[in-house]
Amino acid sequence: MSQETNKINVEVETAYIESQSIPEQNRYVFSYTITISNTGTVAARLLNRHWIITDANGQVQEVVGEGVVGKQPFLRPGENFSYTSGTALETPLGTMHGSYQMRSETGDHFDAPISPFTLAIPHSLH
């Protein structure tokens, strides 16, 4: 199948959760809202997620699991699905990237890449 058939777009918005963070204990909590859009021509289901989370000290957390927020959304062409989740870092700055493992309605398995994005407390980047 072509790239255009199985095409998933992933957009990310992040936020620092000051009320859950404890900087004195090196705990910085961030939320991320993901919007997954099927911009291809065939419906597909999100089966699994794979995240690589890296803090400013180079400490890496790898998260692999079924679905997102307890769901395995089925997206027809033109549909999207949004959810919010979160992570905690030991530093005020970090990055995340990964992929969603998808299955099209025609049975093809493919990965939808999630480009690297930054997690940062306000005013930590210029």
**Which H helix or E strand runs over 116?**
strand 109-120
- Predicted confidence (pLDDT) per residue in 74-115, tens digit: 999 999 999 999 999 999 999 999 999 999 999 999 999 999
The angle at the Cα of 84, spanning 77 to 18, to the nearest 5 degrees, equals: 155
Q: What tokens were used for 124?
A: 């930590």
Q: Do residues 112 and 8 make contact, with C-beta atoms less than 8 angstroms apart?
A: yes
Structural domains in the chain plus CATH codes: 8-120 (2.60.40.1470)
State the chain's mean pLDDT as an integer.
95
pLDDT in tens, 57-72: 999 999 999 999 999 9
Split at pLDDT 50, 70, 90, the class of 126 is low
Q: Judge whether 11 and 37 are in contact, CB under 8 Å.
A: yes
Residues making up the chain, counted from first to last:
126
Token pair of 56, please?
A: 């400013």
